[in-house]
Amino acid sequence: MDDIVGRLAPWRRSLRVKIIVPYLILTLVVAVVSAYVITRVFTISSTKAYETRLFESTAAANDAIVQHERQQLAFWRQLAFTAGVDEALATADRAQLQALLEPLYVNARWDRVEIVSSNGDNLLLLDGSEVNTIPANYEEWELVSVALEDPAIRTVGLQTIDNEIILYTAGAIQDPQTAEPAGVLLVGTSLGTLAATIETDVLAGITFYAASGQPLATTVGDYWSVLLENDLATDIARQSAEEQHVRSLQLDETGYTQLLTPFVLNNGQPSGLLGVSLLQSDLATPLDSTRTALIVMFTIMTAATLFIGYILAKSIASPVTAIAAAAAEVAKGNLEVQVDVRTEDEIGFMGQRFNEMVTQLGQRHYIEELLGRYVGKNIARELLGGHADLGGQRVWATVLFSDIRDFTTFTESKDLNSLMDELNEYYEEMQDVINEHGGVINKFGGDSILALFG
């Protein structure tokens, strides 16, 4: 642990780090706060847009159902008022009915067209299949009985045929001779076909439910995956058409949000429930994209901050580092070092003052060395430091007289150059010793030295 701290210590003392770290911390704080605020605002906005789309899709689905009923009624009228249909129905002429109505059916591509006599017998069935499934209980259909009772009305309702739910538009056709109902014309669309058509129009999954919660037709999942609990279905069925219920669906690994509302046909009678579903990924995808964009953006911002901080720190720290290195050289006794000043700011001013200081120290050292040769370094320091009393003072002092024994005899055996070399060596050694002990050489006299201590 101590080794790690030791390795990190230079970084903690680094001026560049001290400059960059605040910028980095500030950038991270701004990034985190900005990311939270932006994500929060975008989440609220996206959620609201998602909910709005779900509500609008539900409204559009209901409008599509109404529009489908109108188109189906218009086609019913086209068939009912085709010339010769009423007479063929009155005479139960199956061949004539098929000849008159089949071309219209083929061009219009509706799922089913049926004609039932007033006795409940099927006179015509067009459903696009080779094997026509003819219901045997027309007389039990409420659609048929209501139409026969009141030829003036056109009724809409659901009917089950071979486990398939058909949305019918039904109305009576009168006998041209007696004006009595000759039979009932029914135009029908499979709820599965209707759900698929609406899904294409509103770009949302469509599910039709019975009042009990059982799915009648769906474009998402299967029967069991979209099944509604009976109690929940009952509660929703009791709501008004304006009231809506939202729930989550998990179909395999796909999540949906489903909005449930009562399903009411033009006859005004509740026919079950309508469920409109949107993929939850439609909400998650924009959020994921935004999150990714924020990560990229703030990564770039952080990198840019580090780069700019590094450049700024380098521009500040490099001159300071140069001054610190020069100061270390001065501490070692190098008084010739100078700092390269390139700016005119505070750091440049500090560099100039440092250079002036080193120059003055060099001059002082030169004077001290020069003066010290004559009066001694201690006195030279006192004089340069302004501590000397120029008026004179009384002190206890020790006087040293030193000369070379038998110097005359010594000089007679030496030539002049050798003699001067040995004298200089002697003076140098003696001067070092005297200086070391705080003495001052007063004068040199041939081979003699006069030194003062005290």
Q: What is the mean pLDDT of the segment spanning 225-244?
A: 74
295-321: pLDDT as tens digits: 787 788 778 877 887 787 777 777 777
What predicted TM-score, i.e. pTM, was given to this entire model?
0.61
* Contact predicate 220/277, CB 8 Å: yes
Token digits of residue 206: 């469509």
Tens-digit pLDDT profile for residues 344-377: 777 778 878 888 888 887 777 777 676 666 665 6
Residue 302 and residue 28 in contact, taking contact as beta carbons nearer than 8 Å: yes
Task: Take residue 5 and report the two structure tokens written for it.
Answer: 């701290």
- Contacts of residue 219, defined as CB under 8 A and 6 or more positions apart, other chains included, come to 195, 196, 199, 205, 206, 207
209 closest CA partner among 233, 225, 189, 235:
233
Residue 241 pLDDT: 57
Query: Does residue 181 have a pLDDT over 60?
Result: yes
Question: Which residues, in sequence order, are bridge partners of residue 278?
Answer: 257
pLDDT in tens, 72-101: 999 999 999 999 999 999 999 999 999 999
Average pLDDT value for residue range 132-161: 87
CATH number, domain 46-283? 3.30.450.20
Q: What is the pLDDT of residue 5?
A: 40
Domain limits, the chain: 46-283, 335-391, 394-453
Q: pLDDT tens digit string along 267-288?
A: 667 788 899 999 887 766 666 6
3-state helix, strand, coil in the chain (%, to 5): 55, 20, 25
Distance CA 251, CA 283 (A): 17
What distance in Å separates the CA atoms of residue 447 and residue 425, rounded to the nearest whole number?
Answer: 12
Mean pLDDT for the stretch of residues 96-107: 93
Alpha-carbon distance of 441 to 400, in angstroms, equals 9
Helices marked H in 386-442: 407-412, 416-436
- CA separation for the pair 234, 370 (Å, rounded): 114
> Which of 368, 367, 342 is closest to 355 using CA atoms?
342
